[in-house]
Amino acid sequence: MKPSRYSPSSCPIEETQCPYFQELEQLRLECKRLKELTRIDSLTGFYNFRYLIDALEGEMERTRRTGLSTGLIMIDLDHFKRINDTYGHETGNEVLKWCAEVWRNRIRRIDIPCRYGGEEFTIILPGTRLPQAVKAAERMRKALVESPLRVGSGLIKITASFGVDVYTPREYLSASEFIKRADRHLLDAKQNGRNQVCHPAKREEPLPTEITQEEKAALSMKRRNPLG
């Protein structure tokens, strides 16, 4: 069979003025849009839980190939039920959208923000060691404290609890097991008073804070986050 002489964006019947080209192009764009919608949480604009699992498995595989750690931040808004009970669910939704907006401006382009469910969020940090992951979580925590949501003539102060962990090439975990491990640190943060970042007590060996050329090369293989 001879290879096709036209590309997906050219006319299948090879006419200069193809009567079907515009319709086919519109269908192609619509299919692309619908595919994106299956990956995005419609309320916050973050990725959804389904995409979270796929993306995390991909980054953990990258860790095993490159040796670069994958960071994971689990987040739970503090006293969110109280906000819903006091202001109503519509305002509760505004709070969720506001948190996503605050955090979107505090993460890197390669980071992968996801809505885990309800008032819980997850951030995947490719090529990130534990100290850097903890700093990222603390930056997000502080940004939320400093960014109350204005509702009418008043302000709603919002805080969140954070659990941080990293996956290293010496480990063998599934994505679900990694999430559960980070979630235990999140539970510690909530039990210890909320509005704080908890992480493993055992820290990684001190390493240079500047990313190496090898790390840059490995990370450059990852396509840019379309939400950035």
Range list of β-strands (E), the chain: 70-77, 112-117, 120-125, 149-151, 154-156, 160-167, 197-198
Render 151-172 in DSSP notation, one character per residue: ETTEEE---EEEEEEEE-TT--
Q: Is 210 a catalytic residue?
A: no
Q: With 0-12 CB in 10 A as exposed, 13-18 as middle and 19+ as buried, what is 155?
A: exposed
Out of 57, 90, 101, 119, the active site residue is 119
Largest Cα separation within the chain, whole Å, is 71
3-state secondary structure of 222: coil
Instruction: Give one word for 193, left, alpha or beta, with left for phi > 0 and alpha for psi -120 to 50.
Output: left
The answer to whether 149 and 158 are in contact (CB under 8 A) is yes
Residue 173's identity, in one-letter code, is: L
Q: Would you please indicate which residues are annotated as catalytic (active-site) residues?
A: 119
